[in-house]
Amino acid sequence: MLALAWLIATGVLFVWPSTDSPGRADAVVVLSGGRDRRLDPALRLMRQHVAPLLVISGTGFDPKWKKARALCAHGSQGFRVVCFDPHPYSTRGEARGIARLARQHGWRTVDVVTSRYHVFRAGMLIERCYHGRLRMIGASYPWSDVPIAWLSEWGKLLVQVTAERSC
């Protein structure tokens, strides 16, 4: 019974989490960690004019993320680009960074793109820090990432609901 409950919870939280449809936003934010698997869907949203601003997190920590680093260095035609490195380098740090940027720039609505397995926990953390309208957009990821991603998310979620319950 316990194994079945764990499988069902894993499915609900990490395989088929509740995700939002993108809509008009002040910024589209790409969380670090997924490289182009997260950035490419965000760029599609930018080409659809969902927001005037693309925010990319964590490029300073990933020298191999060439497309994001180029956008941070040179910008893009058609939309502005802002890049930040979260402190600490974690989803919690990203949530704090999003909230700080939102306060500085007066954002009311943010669409956040992350891997589908990361949507639930990232949304929970961002909502603790950012109090505007938040839409979480899940990007696909390779099935080869599944075992590590799901186990890692379970561990991190346990920490977030027990020891680190604030922004």
Domain total of the chain: 1
Q: For 74-122, what is each residue's pLDDT tens digit?
A: 999 999 999 999 999 999 999 999 999 999 999 999 999 999 999 999 9
Task: Give the pLDDT confidence score for residue 34 in this predicted structure.
Answer: 85
CATH number for the domain spanning 114: value is 3.40.50.620
pLDDT beneath 70, residues of the chain = none
Task: Give the pLDDT confidence score for residue 141 in this predicted structure.
Answer: 87
| C-alpha count within 13 angstroms, C-beta hemisphere, residue 55 | 26
Q: Say if 11 falls within a structural domain.
A: no
Task: Give the pLDDT confidence score for residue 57 in this predicted structure.
Answer: 97
Strands (E) across the chain are located at 27-30, 53-57, 80-84, 109-115, 133-139
pTM for the full model?
Answer: 0.93
Task: Give the pLDDT confidence score for residue 145 in this predicted structure.
Answer: 80
Q: Say if 5 falls within a structural domain.
A: no
Q: Which domain holds residue 89?
A: 21-162
Task: Give the pLDDT confidence score for residue 10 in this predicted structure.
Answer: 87
Cβ neighbours for 65, distance < 8 A, ≥ 6 positions apart: 32, 35, 36, 39, 58, 59
CB atoms within 10 A of CB 119: 24
Task: Give the pLDDT confidence score for residue 63 in this predicted structure.
Answer: 87
